[in-house]
Amino acid sequence: MGIIKATVGAVGGVLGDQWLEMYYCDSIPQGTLIQRGYQRVNPERSSNTHGADGLISDGSLIVVNEGQCAFVVESGKVVACFDRPGENVFHSNRSPSIFSGRGLKGFGESVIERIGFGGDVAVRQIVLYLNMKELMNIPFDVTCPIHLSEQETGLSMDGQASLSGVFSMRIANPTAFYERVCRGANNTLSLSAVRPQLQAEFAQAAMQGTAKLCADGVSPSQLPAKTEELCQAIQDVMTEKWISLRGFAVNSVAIMSIRVSERDKQLYNDVQRDKMLRDPTMAAATLVGAQAAAMETAAKNTASPRVILTGYVAPTPPPANPPKLWCCSCGKWCSTPFCEHCGAKRPE
């Protein structure tokens, strides 16, 4: 009875799988890398309702939209890749069809194969669609070692610079991408699942590129001018690495901010200031400016009874309605014939 049931199931299954299918995938969202395609069937009109799940008949159509690439995965292995937009015909010896133009060839072999598996299909085929569009707005924020130098002051020191921005990438090698990133995926795979790894490797490349670019020394004011050169260097390094490793390619890199740490910036400014003060003219001008600022501050200070500056003695303001007071040359107000502070005699 078991063989009869398997034979009936095998014959019925092979007959039900003779219909050709059409596989399609709507627009893939921005954050999705891979998405499973579905069979387009109209239940009200189609008679293709008894085919085995996971079997694509020979001669079926795989429809590919712009920005997509379709894979046919058979028992875990890629057996067909379609990257040309439009209708693509799929051929397979594991699922022959009388409508593919090959007649009844393979029909009996399929029945015998299914009887050996109890009447069920012995292969599993699915269609996966890859997102070939540019994946944008992937952020990065990294602190890189740099070498700061200044020819005029002779400064040469190691420092740190912070880089932040975004980069975009795309799938350049679909086969390598599926085999090394998505192998075993049967449904949807989002970018968020692999983003931490990609961001870490991108940050490492950014550190190496920045250190190499600034190995000969750079001043903080020169860093913004090297932004474009740095972006291109990071893009070249990551594309070369990711295409062979995962099938990715970096499309563009945009650095929104590049800045030296506050400690390094302050040290750099101090060295420049010390260099400037070696010039006697600049040193004198700085001293005069400091004295002027101190006198201006002293003039605004009404709480202190007496302010003494370099080369200047400010007399203490007299009290209101003083009883026969006189001001000594030392700046002390007195009411006696002799100064109570220095002993000088009251002038006539």
Residue 178 in any domain: the answer is: no
Q: Are residues 123 and 146 in the same domain?
A: no
Alpha helices in the chain (DSSP H): 2-16, 107-116, 174-177, 195-213, 227-245, 262-277, 280-300
Q: Are residues 140 and 109 in the same domain?
A: no
Residue 308 in any domain: the answer is: no
Return the bridge partners of 125, or none.
74
Return the bridge partners of 141, or none.
164
Q: Are residues 74 and 6 in the same domain?
A: yes
Distance CA 171, CA 173 (A): 6
> Which residue is associated with the tokens 């199931």?
9
Q: Are residues 78 and 102 in the same domain?
A: yes
Return the bridge partners of 77, or none.
74
> Residues 125, 53: contact at Cβ < 8 Å?
no
Q: Are residues 46 and 141 in the same domain?
A: no
Q: Are residues 152 and 78 in the same domain?
A: no
For position 307, what pLDDT does the model report?
45
Residue 309 in any domain: the answer is: no
Residue 238 in any domain: the answer is: yes
For 173, counting Cβ atoms within 10 Å of its Cβ (0-12 exposed, 13-18 middle, 19+ buried), the class is middle
Residue 289 in any domain: the answer is: no
Phi and psi angles of residue 111, each rounded to the nearest 5 degrees, phi first: -65, -45
CATH number reported for the structural domain that contains residue 233 in this entry? 3.30.479.30
For position 63, what pLDDT does the model report?
93
Residue 283 in any domain: the answer is: no
For position 2, what pLDDT does the model report?
65
Distance CA 231, CA 298 (A): 53
> Which residue is associated with the tokens 């563009």?
252
Q: Are residues 225 and 197 in the same domain?
A: yes
For the chain, what is the domain count? Answer: 3
For 215, counting Cβ atoms within 10 Å of its Cβ (0-12 exposed, 13-18 middle, 19+ buried), the class is exposed
Residues of the chain below pLDDT 50: 282-283, 304-313
Q: Are residues 119 and 8 in the same domain?
A: yes
pLDDT in tens, 317-329: 555 555 577 788 7
Examine the fold and report which residue of 131, 149, 181 is the final residue of a domain before the chain moves on.
131
Residue 211 in any domain: the answer is: yes
Distance CA 156, CA 268 (A): 10
Q: Are residues 147 and 240 in the same domain?
A: yes
Residue range of the domain that includes 258:
135-173+190-268
Q: Are residues 239 and 348 in the same domain?
A: no
pLDDT in tens, 233-290: 888 888 888 888 888 888 889 888 888 777 766 666 666 666 555 556 644 555 555 5
> Which residue is associated with the tokens 């001001």?
327
Q: Are residues 49 and 102 in the same domain?
A: yes
For position 9, what pLDDT does the model report?
54
Residue 278 in any domain: the answer is: no
Q: Which two tokens stand for residue 52?
A: 């085995």
Distance CA 14, CA 282 (A): 96
Q: How far is CA 90 from CA 50, 56, 81, 182, in A?
A: 20, 8, 9, 22
Return the bridge partners of 174, or none.
none
For position 96, what pLDDT does the model report?
75
Q: Are residues 263 and 157 in the same domain?
A: yes
> Residues 314, 306: contact at Cβ < 8 Å?
yes
C-alpha 116, offset from chain centre: 53
